[in-house]
Structure 1
Amino acid sequence: MSNIVNKNQSNLDAALFRLNLERSSHMSLQAQLISALRTLLNETQAPSGLRLPSSRVLSLELSVSRTTVVGAYDQLISEGYLHTKMGGGTYVADQIPHLAPPVRTSNDRPEPLQAWVPFQSGIPDQSLFPHRLWSRHIEKAWAKPDSALLGKPDPFGWYPLRQAISNHLSAWRELDCRPEQVLVTSGASEAFEIIFRGVHRSDAHAAIEDPGWHTLRHVLGSLGAQVHPIRIDEHGFDADKITGAASVAIVTPSRHYPTGISMPMPRRTALLAWAARANALIIEDDYDSEFRYQGHPLPSLAGLDGLKRSIYLGSFSKLLSPALRLGYLVLPDALISSAQDYLAQFGSRASLVPQPALATFMESGEFAVHLRRMRRTYARRQAHLIAELQESASLINVAPDPSGMHICASLLPSLRHHATDKLISNTARGKGLHVKALSSHCILPEPPQGLVLGYAAFDEKIISTAARKLNQLLIKLAKANGSNARG
């Protein structure tokens, strides 16, 4: 018997032995068995010639009388589903086309998910992820799992991972914290849910950046918080513009998203002074500070504050892969018990499966090696993108950014007078480009005009092709709309 036939036979046997008959049903057991067998043979399209278990074996497996099985077999033989052979045994009939369901066509299959499109931002190059190394850490963690992994999980996350995060922050961000202050999350949305429902008032007034992460206002709104947008200037977030109602400020000081501006030290100290005066909370979202290409990053706000009035957010989605769905919070000591009480009631959404592997990946030094490799790669890609966009130098201002995974190109008057960033964004979509309009990240009126261009996930060849399309699009829009204006 071939391997394929063996496999088909095993699949049929397994399906038969999984049949479930309800003794409380108004249908007799024999009628239920006939219906179940008929459905099984139709839906699985079992190949002809496969042998069914003997009536004695199947009756024992299903805990029914042998008479019930014999009656069901006889009925399906009469209907043409089954047949018997000389010498005994019941088999799937050779041809039952009039009873088989229609074959599914290719149109019934779901469309495959679309790959990342240039210039989507915030996405790491997952083709350069060390998959082989990662698989070893996964196998090591779960081939013979630590007994603690099989017990009740700690809602704050796998302790060795929290220790590894603590060590990483000390080395890379000069943020001294204990593993007990680290809370592993499934990402930013859960992090804000824990903050606003677990350790802070859900109806709080929150000062946020404008432009900023466009999803944030929707996340906060769903939690009941009130948002107070503050326009980012050339020096970033200005604490002097915070209104008296705000009890929390949410900022990305290392690299304001999406403008790329870094908050200078005077602004940082001013924000910390505001938090002390107002007895307020600062939430520092440090989403991609590890990717810095020039100079040394300024200390984190949480580090300057000593984690007294600051909560620090980090994510592995941009550092490694969005598929991990892992991030973390670093909490002040005063908020730990509140977070524990909240998670004890509602639980954590962070999967435990990748956590021990990520812990050993970080502890081995391979995580740091990967970050340094990506930092060099992304720096080259940024320089390549800027060079490829020189053809549009009279239309957009593209300057090197000392860090990050995207650049923000501002529209110059020569283009801004003829096209908005949203028009450019919509037109680019038809060319197969994902060019985010800077104004779509704004809440306040009179938003700045610019284009958010991600480069981290795309190699130089893809960047060159996409940049040529964008250059042609910008030049065409400027000429066409300029001619219309003159006409």
Structure 2
Amino acid sequence: MSNIVKINQSNLDAALLGIALERTAPDSLQAQLTEGLRHAILNDPGTSGARLPASRKLAGELSVSRTTVQIAYDQLISEGYLTSRRGSGTFVADNLPHLSPPVTKTAGLRPEAQPWRPFHTGVPDQALFPHQSWARHLERAWRAPENALLARPDPMGWYPLRQAIADHLSAWRGLPCDPGQVLITSGAWEAFELICRALLPGGSAVALEDPGWSPLREVLDACGARACPLRTDHEGLNPADIPTGVAAAIVTPSRHYPTGATMPLARRAALLDWAQQTGGLVVEDDYDSEFRYKGHPLPSLAGLDGLRHCIYIGSFSKLLSPALRIGYAVLPQTQVDPARHHLARTGTRASLIPQPALASFMTSGEFATHLRRMRRIYARRQEYLLSELAPLSDLLDLSPDPAGMHLCARLTPKLAGRITDRHIAARAQERGVFLRALSSHSVLPDPPQGLLLGYAGHDEAALGAAAHTLARLLRDIA
């Protein structure tokens, strides 16, 4: 036997070792073996002319019947990959010109996770997430799961978590509600999508804040609703601006995103009066109201309304971690059945896995302790960032914000006359600083000019370095 033949035989023997058959796979054992042999031949032309094991021997090695091997051999003989020689056995065909050249395999490089950089907004400091405590709750829930966790899940979510959320809202936001009104979601996107598809007539006009959360317009468009953007002022959205025919208004009254404005009580009452008079629906996105550093928050819209015309939306992405993908909506009693029926058809996207752990984390008191701790830390970080940016007071309108996770710094006339906020954001990106332009959240003409400076998810060292980079950039421009 020549060296070439020996090498080819060795190559085939090695390739056969990589064939594994799964009895639980959807494809039959014959189909799996045929594909495995075909792949071995295609992947290495060095097997050309090599002899395959006798069908009885290969069947024993793979723990299948001899018939399974014979069927696979016969199929590949008919396709021209194998040849049979009477009295000698079965061989890989020589000179297969129709085969493609072997694909050169390169080692796959695992993409590196991109860290959050200052000044990303809406990002909690995940290094301060209570990992050990969370792991304990998660392990306890699933080490010996109760029968209800293994049964058909409730489309509205795990009931103990809904109970914990209802208790939390009553204590923190003065919003008494029944757990049956709480719906667990995978985040704001799913909540808004459900509202548009299940609770509003098709093609409804929906009033939005401008500037506002940019993806919201995409949600409405995907659901066939019509976005009606309304320019906000220093008190948020003005209910008097809502045009006739609007079916719903989506607002962030406790802290407008992204400017940070707070809707005063008079406007809140006017908005609820609009809903009562027109039959419209008010959707309150209370995305980070737990992080208030000074004073007391105004009552939630849903609390003032008694959950008659108002839906309340919240999320744990900013309170704990965006990796949880857990949010919630609190519905008026009249909207619970339509929402449940919709979810029964489509299913919820919120994973059940973290829900029992989150429920026990909340009822244990550790959730409230974590929020209080993060509130103190975020308050210090905001104060530190403002001190680092103080030398830029002639270029940026900087003032403390009593709540939230980011600052909205408007451009002063001295700077606004030279460059737009989008150009500043682009140039900051080139220097390794992430900035969002205030105008990028607006679709109406003459958008406001400013920079969004997220501070919650970054420690003082990172904030200081980014602030100094931004200062040098703005001084170069000015």
Both proteins in one fold, TM over 0.5 = yes
Closer, same or farther: CA 17–391 of 1 in aligned 2, 3 Å:
same
Cross-structure match for 2:161: 161
The answer for the alignment partner of 1:289 in structure 2 is 289
Residue aligning to 1:443: 443
String of CA shifts for 1:402-428, please: whole Å, max 9, x gaps.
Answer: 000000001111111111111111111
The amino acid of 1:187's aligned partner reads G
SS state at 2:183 partner = strand
Q: Name 2:393's counterpart in structure 1.
A: 393
Tell me which moved more, 158-167 or 29-38: 29-38
Give TM-score scaled by structure 2 length: 0.83
Distance 2:144 2:156 in 1: 23
Whether contact under 8 Å (1:17, 1:62) holds in the other structure is no
On the 8 A contact 1:121/1:454 being kept in 2, the answer is yes
After TM superposition, list the pairs within 5 Å mapping 1:271-286 onto structure 2.
Answer: 271-286=271-286
Residue 420 of structure 1 corresponds to which residue in structure 2?
420
SS at match of 1:16: coil
- 2:20 — aligned with what? 16
What is the deviation of 1:64?
3.1
**Sequence identity (%):** 51
1:401-412, aligned counterparts within 5 Å? 401-412=401-412
CA contact (8 A) 1:55 1:66 kept: no
Structure-1 separation of matches of 2:111 and 2:388: 33
- After superposition, give the CA deviation of every residue in 1:267-303 in whole Å (9 maximum; x if it has no partner): 1111111111111110000000000000111110000
Q: Do the aligned partners of 1:235 and 1:264 also contact (CA within 8 Å) in 2? A: yes
Mark the CA change 1:104 to 1:245 in structure 2 (over 3 Å): closer, same or farther: same
Alpha-carbon shift at residue 33 of structure 1 (Å): 6.4
Q: Describe the shift of the 1:14–1:370 C-alpha distance in structure 2 as closer, same or farther (beyond 3 A).
A: farther
Shift of 1:466: 0.1
The equivalent residue for 2:186 is 186
- Superposed displacement of residue 58, structure 1: 2.9
Normalised by the length of structure 1, the TM-score is: 0.82
CA distance in 1 between counterparts of 2:270 and 2:20 reads 72
Alignment RMSD: 2.8
Secondary structure, aligned partner of 1:62:
coil
Aligned to 2:175: 175
Alignment CA distance shift 1:13-1:337 (3 Å): farther
1:342 paired residue number: 342
TM superposition shift of 1:68: 5.4
Give the distance between the partners of 2:471 and 2:380, measured in 1 at CA: 20
Aligned amino acid, residue 394 of structure 1: D
* 214-223 or 250-259, which deviates more: 214-223
What does 1:215-234 correspond to in 2, within 5 Å? Answer: 215-234=215-234
Q: 1:58 aligns with which of 50, 61, 85?
A: 61
In 2, the alpha carbon distance for the partners of 1:67 and 1:122 equals 59
C-alpha distance after superposition, 1:420-476 (max 9, x if no partner)? 111111111111111111111112111111111100110000000000000111111
- Alignment: residue pair count: 427
The one-character-per-residue Cα deviations of 1:223-278 (angstroms, maximum 9, x if unpaired) are 11112211111222111111112121100000000000111111111111111111
Distance 1:207 1:155 in 2: 28
When residues 54 and 363 of structure 1 are mapped into structure 2, their CA distance, relative to the original with a 3 A threshold, is: farther
Query: How far 1:16 sits from its partner (Å)?
Result: 2.9
Paired residues of 2:22 and 2:29 also in contact (CA < 8 A): no
User: SS state of the match for residue 283, structure 2?
Assistant: strand
What's the CA shift for 1:17?
4.5
The equivalences for 1:67-216 within 5 A come to 102=104, 104-105=106-107, 108-216=108-216
Superposed CA deviations along residues 342-373 of structure 1, whole A, max 9, x for unmatched, are: 11111111111111111111111111111111
How far apart, in 2, do the equivalents of 1:149 and 1:454 lie?
38
**Does the 8 Å contact 2:254/2:298 carry over to 1?**
yes
**How far off its partner does 1:62 sit?**
2.2
Alignment of 1:333-372 (within 5 A): 333-372=333-372
3-state SS, counterpart of residue 408 of structure 2: strand
CA distance in 2, matches of 1:206, 1:33: 56
Q: Offset of 1:214 from its aligned partner?
A: 1.3
| C-alpha separation in 2, matches of 1:281 and 1:260 | 23
Q: Is the 8 A contact 1:249 1:281 kept in 2?
A: yes
The amino acid of 1:62's aligned partner reads V
Match for 1:104: what amino acid? T
| Contact 1:119–1:433 (8 Å) recurs in 2 | yes
Match of 2:265 in 1: 265
Matched to 2:61, the amino acid is: L
The answer as to whether partners of 1:293 and 1:375 remain within 8 angstroms in 2 is yes
